């Protein structure tokens, strides 16, 4: 939403923009002989000040959010977050960065507090699911700044061609900043961090098809045992595309993701697989989308055997029903095997239903 615009020359302007997004959820979960009902809401506003000149485009951006409600993930013991808006109740600022884009708009740079999953790993199709961990790789560093926290970072995007982009980033990785249990306000500026996360991603798009290849390295020391610590390095792949012709009555598409940690000695998750298929009836008046996904983060058995931690897997059947240009309802059913991933605890599967309401303007 454009709040104000000041034009002071041909092709030159100063604009103040704001967007407001709200997400409200109601959950119903069955686990063994127990039944849980919870609700949660998230309201977020993003404010941007943009200076557009003949030679460049500058942007100052920040966003502030309020998270409130009961955690369904805590109720069923799901370590991987059954809801993507599950976080500690807080009123917090996340991003605060200055961005630059050159005249040709083929080079972008951001400097300031930012979350790594604003730019890397994620895609529209992976973000479709409500289960929080479905959107990014499970092998990702626990000290990486991702929603709902951020850290000081420098990121850039370079267009190699019309359909190829190279993204690079370096972020401060520090438990005092990136662990929301410690940094409850979600915003903290530090001079020195305990480590840095370096990430590089190559992306190619071709219509509705997408290919991402990435690698990240965090030089923080990882490990639950003092004698077994090392940095964390991993690579990931994301592939998406159409399965039917655009003239078909039902548009079918797919998402496939894979990541592999390169530190089997200390990586808690040594690989994960994510696969999903989407169906959108093209003859319907509303752009209703159905999706079925399966996600498996594989626990490093050799490393975590003494803790009796086992792998959790989950599937999700979801449908998105747009009401108008601003509002959407999403219905989700999740089947979670081994929520909490701890042997002897929550060993029975969990069945979760979610009703989510989006509104933005």
- Give me the residue spans of the domains in the chain: 2-360
- The share of the chain scoring above pLDDT 90, in percent, equals 53
Q: Which of 78-82, 260-264, 267-271, 301-305 has the lowest mean pLDDT?
A: 301-305
Residues 6+ apart with CB under 8 A from 231: 195, 217, 218, 219, 220, 221, 222, 263
Mean local confidence (pLDDT), 7-26: 86
User: In the prediction, which pLDDT does 305 show?
Assistant: 67
* Residue range 2-360, CATH number: 2.40.160.10
User: In the prediction, which pLDDT does 73 show?
Assistant: 87
Residue 137 three-state SS? coil
Pairing assessment for the beta strands 195-206 and 209-225 based on DSSP bridges: antiparallel
User: In the prediction, which pLDDT does 83 show?
Assistant: 92
Q: Which residue has the higher pLDDT, 165 or 305?
A: 165
Rounded-to-integer distance, Cα 133 and Cα 84, Å: 7
Model confidence at 163: pLDDT above 80: yes
User: In the prediction, which pLDDT does 342 show?
Assistant: 55
94, with CB counted inside 10 A (0-12, 13-18, 19+), is buried
Q: Which of 30-34, 198-202, 293-297, 342-346 has the lowest mean pLDDT?
A: 342-346
Highest mean pLDDT among 31-35, 67-71, 246-250: 67-71
330, with CB counted inside 10 A (0-12, 13-18, 19+), is buried
Q: What is the mean pLDDT of the chain?
A: 88
Model confidence at 170: pLDDT above 80: yes
Which two tokens mark 253?
A: 């598409």
């Amino acid at each position: 939403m454009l709040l104000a615009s000041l034009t002071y020359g041909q092709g030159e302007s100063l604009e103040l923009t704001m967007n407001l997004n709200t997400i409200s959820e109601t959950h119903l979960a069955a686990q063994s002989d127990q039944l849980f009902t919870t609700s949660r809401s998230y309201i977020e506003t993003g404010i941007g000040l943009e200076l557009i000149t003949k030679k460049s485009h500058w942007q100052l951006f920040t966003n502030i959010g309020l998270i409130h409600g009961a955690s369904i993930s805590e109720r069923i013991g799901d370590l991987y977050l059954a809801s993507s808006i599950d976080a500690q109740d807080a009123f917090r600022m996340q991003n605060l960065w200055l961005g630059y884009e050159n005249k040709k708009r083929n080079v972008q740079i951001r400097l300031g507090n930012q979350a790594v999953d604003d730019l890397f790993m994620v895609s529209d199709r992976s973000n479709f699911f409500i289960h929080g961990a479905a959107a990014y790789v499970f092998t990702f560093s626990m000290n990486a700044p991702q929603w709902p926290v951020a850290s000081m970072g420098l990121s850039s995007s370079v267009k190699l061609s019309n359909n190829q982009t190279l993204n690079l980033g370096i972020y401060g990785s520090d438990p005092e900043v990136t662990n929301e249990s410690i940094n409850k306000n979600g915003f903290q500026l530090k001079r020195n961090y305990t480590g840095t996360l370096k990430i590089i991603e190559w992306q190619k798009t071709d219509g509705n098809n997408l290919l991402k290849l990435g690698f990240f390295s965090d030089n923080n020391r990882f490990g639950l045992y003092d004698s077994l610590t090392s940095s964390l390095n991993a690579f990931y792949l994301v592939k998406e595309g159409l399965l039917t012709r655009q003239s078909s009555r039902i548009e079918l598409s797919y998402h496939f993701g894979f990541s592999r940690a390169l530190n089997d000695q200390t990586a808690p998750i040594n690989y994960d697989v994510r696969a999903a298929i989407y169906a959108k009836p093209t003859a319907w008046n509303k752009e209703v989308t159905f999706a079925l996904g399966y996600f498996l983060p594989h626990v490093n058995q050799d490393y975590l055997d003494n803790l009796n931690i086992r792998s959790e897997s989950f599937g999700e059947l979801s449908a998105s029903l747009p009401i108008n240009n601003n509002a959407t309802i999403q219905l989700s059913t999740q089947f979670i095997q081994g929520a909490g991933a701890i042997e002897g605890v929550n060993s029975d599967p969990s069945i979760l239903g979610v009703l989510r309401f989006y509104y933005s303007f």
